[in-house]
Structure 1
């Protein structure tokens, strides 16, 4: 039941290459995990979460668009500040604890989302074409819209990795094995993955809030566009749309979760067998159009202009390695209890209400989380995120006798509020990746943002067409 992704020996070796410690200071850092590390992480993340929900939601009108700052955004910002400050550094051992807790927390969040999908299954059957078309947008939107920019900016073969998808963990592992750690393709995947892991939720929240406030697109289409394959990005987008369209908030959350589930099921295979070959073919086309070689240098001015300094060459700077929490049954029990109690506390403060059945609701969601991790160990090709959404959806489907009980007992648990502690924990782990982040070219940052935007907008527009 340990929430650890199962890897092949080849993947494990590759990850060992990637996650090597860098810096003399880190080499002398104690690698053991003590009770003090647990106390520090739990107390700091809980404090950040409570501050975030007490600040609440702030909305700033900026012309026709709106900037919506939600508790989940405050949580990741404050967590990131604490995670990167140098006055009292967050140790690798503390980050290891935070990583374990956020792995459980994100699946707990998905379990709650699943309880919102089940009761609405009958309504969603009418959205079949829209669900299929939004996936087409996710698969091809990045390649069609982002790849030309990446090639034109001189990224070379890095453009392929940066623009064939939004590059989540499965794509990172595939690129590492397929192309190798020093390949341009892998450097592109690594960069987009890193930026998405750190700032994806914040960016998608701002993007969804801005586009949604224009009043041009159906909120349901916007929700479908959030099925990017990243739970944290989806969480950020759902939060922004729920503020803009409070009357449709439950439907928005359920549609986004369903769309994300579909993306997780078929997105990787579609990416490998469809969008990657398309990206490689279009890369050759755009390279000829813009006159660029595989390093991104201009073919026309190669003899008079040296662009090597701007070329994103070399392997990506490795993120720091953290010690691993030994997940004994006792440690796992403590971790699940911490996640549950913290979620219950933040939910009570955020919703300004507490009902005795909320505790039982948290226990049920934690049980679904544990079952999902166990199933992902038995069938490693199906991640726990898919298991928990599927199980929670089935249990709350109208045709199931468990539907009324599960929906009723978890009804007062707010899905967005439950996600706040997880985003705070993500912020606390940012320090592990700060060196790699500093090494990124500004060009890859721009391309990554274009990639996220293209995937969201292409899926949203196709969903809009299907709905209307």
Structure 2
């Protein structure tokens, strides 16, 4: 059963809403309003001990949308985002992120000369991303009494590719499946906020080279990477933002592509092997017994059918509107320039999407990343410089606000799963996320 189906079963009257144009229009309008409010609030910063925390507009978008979804029963029907529509927003998020992938590729391609200067650090920091999760997360999980769920929750940060790995090896109904699902939900709901706070705090300590921090930000999740690099860039000179963003995007792309194989062949076997040897030692410190199997509904997008072409266009319209609003309110970019840049981004994604529908086995994210990167490599193609200049006016952080607004609406429908899994697995998941950021940063720092 997909998330949308499960939500529909819980809310029978909400099924027609998600299939109606009016419901989708309502979602579009509400997301645009949330983006506008979040961008108007802007960046808020405060001190935490010796460190400083920056809350970007994307964080406000996530919190506002989450509160909106949780309180939907208290709102008038015209403003209510029902559970089925929340699930639909989660599906739109998955497709909307494709435009974010294009922006990442364009950022990397146009700044390849600067990225190349990162040298071997960019390759070796991937070992920090791969093993940082289990180095910090696994021992804590065992001390808290988490059993085999710890393997699924700490061998990675639990993104879509990691769900596939666990599903193939153990099955999603297994303890390992529950663990990786908890990591996925935690990262979706809390990951961006948590990594933004952590990255901002660590950056403010001034103990790491900004390039190391940028590499650490490439954790393999577009939204989490955006949150981390946003917090890092917020404490750097404006002139350094482009280079650091390109490095973070390149690191994120490497983690998404090579990281899949790193986790499949290295971190998962290592995590399972370490669990078998550490659990008898560390597990005795907790009296908690292994939980009985619990049937959990998949998180947004997991197991759901591919969106129709029309719904794909709706997702991209939301992204286009959100980016245009953010570009205008925060970065003072004229609407016409933003719309032209987004038209080019959508065109790139559309071509690959059509090919994907003809060739279902095509690894779309990989192809989209490679194509968008090659299109703007300086001097490679006759139009590379023009394309790079037009899309450079689309501020990187403007993409993150509509992305996290859509993500926020998945909170309400995921709360029952959190209650079943308990607070321990959430703490472990966040610790694993901290481990991948800190691990990669530490390894990269050896080269700086």
Change (3 A) 1:127 1:456: same
Residue 459 of structure 1 is matched in structure 2 by: 440
Q: 1:214 aligns with which of 181, 197, 205?
A: 205
Residue 396 of structure 1 is matched in structure 2 by: 376
Residue 132 of structure 2 is matched in structure 1 by: 141
**SS across alignment from 1:59:** strand
Cα separation, 2, equivalents of 1:380 and 1:269: 21
If the length of structure 2 is used for normalisation, what is the TM-score?
0.90
Superposition map of 1:266-277 within 5 A? 266-277=258-269
**SS across alignment from 1:399:** coil
Cα separation, 2, equivalents of 1:103 and 1:69: 24
Residue 419 of structure 2 is matched in structure 1 by: 438
Deviation at 1:439, TM superposition (A): 2.0
For the 8 Å contact 1:118–1:395, the answer to whether it is kept is: yes
For the 8 Å contact 2:154–2:432, the answer to whether it is kept is: yes
Deviation at 1:290, TM superposition (A): 2.3
If the length of structure 1 is used for normalisation, what is the TM-score?
0.86
For the 8 Å contact 1:114–1:392, the answer to whether it is kept is: yes
The answer on 1:247 being equivalent to 2:239 is: yes
Residue 61 of structure 1 is matched in structure 2 by: 47
Q: 2:21 aligns with which of 27, 32, 35?
A: 35
Residue 21 of structure 1 is matched in structure 2 by: 6
For the 8 Å contact 2:32–2:318, the answer to whether it is kept is: no
- RMSD between aligned residues: 2.6
Change (3 A) 1:234 1:97: same
CA deviations 1:293-340 (Å, max 9, x no partner) are xxx965xxxxxxxx44xx443225325889979955555445534432
Cα separation, 2, equivalents of 1:23 and 1:42: 20
The answer on 1:81 being equivalent to 2:84 is: no
Deviation at 1:132, TM superposition (A): 1.3
Deviation at 1:431, TM superposition (A): 1.9
Change (3 A) 1:353 1:447: same
Change (3 A) 1:269 1:353: closer
Cα separation, 2, equivalents of 1:351 and 1:456: 28
Change (3 A) 1:464 1:46: same
**SS across alignment from 2:421:** coil
Change (3 A) 1:379 1:146: farther
Q: Which structure carries more helix by proportion?
A: 2
CA deviations 1:372-405 (Å, max 9, x no partner) are 3334445656543333332222111113222210
Cα separation, 1, equivalents of 2:16 and 2:192: 30
**SS across alignment from 1:30:** helix
CA deviations 1:181-240 (Å, max 9, x no partner) are 442211211111111111111111111101011101011111111121111111111211
**SS across alignment from 1:228:** coil
The answer on 1:411 being equivalent to 2:392 is: yes
Cα separation, 1, equivalents of 2:126 and 2:304: 36
Change (3 A) 1:383 1:31: farther
CA deviations 1:62-82 (Å, max 9, x no partner) are 221111110011111111111
The answer on 1:368 being equivalent to 2:348 is: yes
Gaps of 5+ in 1: 1-15, 299-306
Change (3 A) 1:333 1:287: closer
Cα separation, 2, equivalents of 1:147 and 1:130: 26
Residue 406 of structure 2 is matched in structure 1 by: 425
Deviation at 1:353, TM superposition (A): 3.0
Cα separation, 2, equivalents of 1:90 and 1:316: 26
